[in-house]
Amino acid sequence: MYSIQIKGHALCIISAILIALLIPRQSLSQNKPMNAMSVETLKLQVTALSRNSQTISSDFVQEKMMTMITEKIITRGKFFFKKEKMLRWEYTEPFSYLIIINNDQISVKDENKVNHFNVQSNKIYLEINKIILGSIQGTLLNDEKNFKSIFMENESSFIVLLKPLAPKLKESLTDVVIHFDRRDFTVSQIEMLEPGGDRTRITFSGKKFNQPMADEKFLVH
């Protein structure tokens, strides 16, 4: 019995050492800092992609992870972008909710109730607009006035960690993490971290570029 316990302890210790050795290596191998040249290449590629993309459409899955609550809130929807500043952000599951940003006008359709307002008049949407459009257009990567950027990479992604500098934005977000797909420099994931520890992760899939897209898509009826 005693020897079994010792064996058990030894096994635990060995496992712990192995895990301790493996996890840091794995996390290091997952995300390592990018050098200045790679950062410049990323910025140039993202800007070039943005310049050449007249329209983008994609499906998305949004997961909100809350501290102390094991259940994730998962929502799904579709996203459409048309140059210069037209965005359709549509939740389809488990509820229907539509946000349309057409230049500086925001329209929100919530259960058949439609509201229109100016993007400048709503601070939350103003920030969301900046983050989503800025991620797609790559302008956030150069926004040194509002964000401190940390560039990392792993086998599948370039990862840009943006730390808000503006005091107002800092109150609601501590970090914005943008994942760019290594293969095509498109945004594959945006993660928003809040001061309380809550996180929202938006993962994009089925991205399509430069497909015909009517302006009517950015109108609310």
Which residue's CB is nearer to another protein, number 42 or number 192?
192
193 neighbors 180 (Cβ within 8 angstroms): no
Does the protein bind another protein through residue 173 (CB under 8 A)? yes
Tokens of 47: 């800007």
Residues 44 and 36: their CA atoms lie apart, in Å, by: 12
Does the protein bind another protein through residue 66 (CB under 8 A)? yes
Report in angstroms how near the CB of residue 35 gets to another protein at its nearest.
33
Does the protein bind another protein through residue 209 (CB under 8 A)? no
Which of 43, 64, 163, 182 lies at the binding interface for another protein (CB under 8 A)?
64
What is the contact mask toward another protein in residues 122 to 141, using x (rule: CB under 8 A)? Answer: --x---x-------------
Considering only the stretches 6-14, 24-32, 169-177, 208-216, report the one whose residues sit in contact with another protein under the rule CB under 8 A.
169-177
Does the protein bind another protein through residue 114 (CB under 8 A)? no
Residues 128 and 82: their CA atoms lie apart, in Å, by: 17
Report in angstroms how near the CB of residue 183 gets to another protein at its nearest.
27
Residues 20 and 159: their CA atoms lie apart, in Å, by: 24
Residues 155 and 117: their CA atoms lie apart, in Å, by: 42
Does the protein bind another protein through residue 62 (CB under 8 A)? yes
Which residue's CB is nearer to another protein, number 80 or number 185?
80
For every residue of 150-188, which 3-state class applies, written as one string? EEEECCCEEEEEEEECCHHHHHHCCEEEEEEECCCCCEE
Does the protein bind another protein through residue 20 (CB under 8 A)? no
Residue with tokens 């797909």: 181
CA dihedral 180, 186, 188, 192 (to 10 degrees): 70
Residues 86-105, interacting with another protein (CB under 8 A): 91, 94-95, 97, 99
From residue 218, alpha-carbon distances to 84, 115, 153, 156, 159 in Å are: 12, 14, 35, 33, 30
Which residue's CB is nearer to another protein, number 29 or number 118?
118
Residue ranges in contact with another protein by CB under 8 A:
62, 64, 66-69, 71, 73, 75, 91, 94-95, 97, 99, 108, 110-111, 115, 124, 128, 171-173, 192, 194-196, 198, 200
